[in-house]
């Protein structure tokens, strides 16, 4: 190979993404499992309780959850750039607005498109299951905007982790369960909280990584309020809480044969909690963030499989 040909290949390998590749990067695909897992577990819980599985409703609900998550990420990308939070010292993965790959207006329009698609899918779900789904859908859309929008975005406050536990846990599991069963079950919010705590841990890792930059920018995230040492302990609590909650779930009518597969994920969660206690803030936490999201995915998969097979 000639030197000139090698140079052209090197230039191509460093060329910024465009088209669909750009927008795939912008929606942060590694976080999408946080939205998908509770929809699957809520549906599996309904099947476990004897409800018929509705494949079309499940797929539409899943698409709506993913669209809301993608839209929330896009609004966050543009919003943080406009507030000056994504500067050249950013430690996290690339953000397309800050990198100059898209304008804030383009990213916001893409976010609005995602929310619009979720709204269209929501109309079908409301017709299918009634007004409770309408309330859940509108609340989810409003929360997705409020996370980065308005004068006091949730992402700049200590309430971000609570938002994640609520909408990526309790609301999503209970809503997807209701979609199939038409009933409310105490086990649904319990399982939602079980999945919501490791999802909140993902955000906590993100905020611990960016602790110093957020303090300089005036962001009072939970990590900024707690400080480094207490944030490490909070992460351990969030990662181990699901296995405490497993002891409570049988009192709500879901018994141990359905829950046992979830215990297989416990060693991984313990290891993540242990590793985080001595991990210095910085780019190494990007790997911890990805591993935490993967643990939540595995926990949801084990729980859903146990519910369906038991």
Domain total of the chain: 1
Long-range Cβ contact pairs of 243-252 (< 8 A, separation 24 or more): 243/269, 245/190, 245/193, 245/194, 245/197, 246/194, 248/190, 249/187, 249/190, 249/191, 249/194, 252/185, 252/186, 252/187, 252/190
Q: Please answer whether residues 29 and 159 qualify as being in contact, where contact means their C-beta atoms are separated by less than 8 angstroms.
A: no
Angle 81-85-86 (CA atoms, 0-180°, nearest 5)? 65
Asked if residue 169 belongs to a domain, the reply is: yes
Burial class for 251, CB neighbours closer than 10 Å (0-12, 13-18, 19+): exposed
Confidence at residue 17, expressed as pLDDT on a 0 to 100 scale: 67
Average pLDDT by stretches of 10, the chain with 310 residues? 39 60 88 94 94 94 94 88 64 76 91 94 92 90 83 84 92 94 91 95 92 80 93 96 94 90 96 94 88 96 94
For the chain, the C-alpha Rg in angstroms (whole number) is 20
Would you give the DSSP letter of residue 251?
Answer: G
Asked if residue 6 belongs to a domain, the reply is: no
Cut 0.85: pTM above it: yes
Asked if residue 8 belongs to a domain, the reply is: no
Confidence at residue 187, expressed as pLDDT on a 0 to 100 scale: 92
Q: Whole domain around residue 56: which residue ranges?
A: 18-309
- What is the tens place of the pLDDT at every residue in 96-147? 888 788 898 999 999 999 999 999 999 999 998 988 999 998 998 888 888 8
Read off the CATH number of the domain in which 200 is found: 1.10.600
Asked if residue 222 belongs to a domain, the reply is: yes
Asked if residue 178 belongs to a domain, the reply is: yes
Give the whole-angstrom CA distance, residue 222 versus residue 234. 10
- What is the tens place of the pLDDT at every residue in 43-61? 999 999 999 999 999 999 9
Confidence at residue 232, expressed as pLDDT on a 0 to 100 scale: 96
Asked if residue 265 belongs to a domain, the reply is: yes
Asked if residue 12 belongs to a domain, the reply is: no
Confidence at residue 115, expressed as pLDDT on a 0 to 100 scale: 92
Confidence at residue 288, expressed as pLDDT on a 0 to 100 scale: 94
Asked if residue 1 belongs to a domain, the reply is: no
Query: H/E element holding 9?
Result: helix 3-13
Long-range Cβ contact pairs of 305-308 (< 8 A, separation 24 or more): 305/44, 305/261, 306/257, 306/258, 306/259, 306/260, 306/261, 306/262, 307/41, 307/44, 307/45, 307/47, 307/48, 307/254, 307/258, 308/44, 308/47, 308/48
Angle 238-241-157 (CA atoms, 0-180°, nearest 5)? 30
């Amino acid at each position: 190979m000639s030197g000139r040909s090698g140079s052209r290949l090197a230039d191509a390998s460093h060329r910024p993404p465009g088209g669909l590749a750009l927008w795939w990067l912008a929606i942060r695909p590694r976080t999408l499992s946080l939205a998908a897992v509770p929809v699957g577990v809520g549906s599996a819980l309904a099947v476990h309780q004897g409800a018929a599985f509705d494949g079309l409703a499940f797929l539409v609900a899943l698409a709506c959850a993913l669209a809301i998550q993608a839209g929330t990420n896009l609004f966050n990308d543009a919003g943080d750039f406009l507030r000056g939070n994504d500067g050249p010292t950013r430690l996290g993965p690339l953000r397309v607005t800050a990198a100059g790959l898209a304008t804030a207006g383009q990213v916001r329009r893409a976010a609005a498109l995602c929310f619009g698609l979720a709204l269209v899918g929501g109309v079908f779900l409301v017709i299918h299951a009634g007004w409770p789904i309408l309330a859940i859908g509108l609340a989810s859309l409003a929360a997705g905007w409020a996370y980065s929008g308005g004068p006091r975005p949730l992402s700049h406050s200590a309430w971000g982790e609570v938002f994640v536990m609520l909408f990526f846990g309790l609301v999503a599991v209970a809503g997807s369960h209701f979609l199939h069963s038409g009933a409310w079950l105490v086990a649904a919010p319990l399982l939602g909280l079980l999945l919501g705590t490791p999802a909140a841990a993902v955000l906590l890792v993100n905020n611990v990584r960016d602790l110093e930059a957020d303090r300089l920018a005036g962001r009072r995230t939970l990590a900024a309020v707690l400080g480094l040492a207490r944030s490490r302990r909070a992460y351990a609590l969030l990662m181990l809480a699901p296995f405490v909650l497993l002891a409570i779930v049988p009192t709500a009518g879901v018994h141990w044969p359905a829950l046992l597969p979830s215990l297989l994920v416990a060693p991984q969660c313990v290891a993540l909690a242990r590793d985080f206690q001595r991990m210095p803030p910085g780019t190494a936490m990007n790997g911890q963030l990805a591993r935490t999201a993967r643990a939540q995915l595995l926990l949801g998969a084990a729980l859903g499989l146990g519910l369906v097979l038991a």
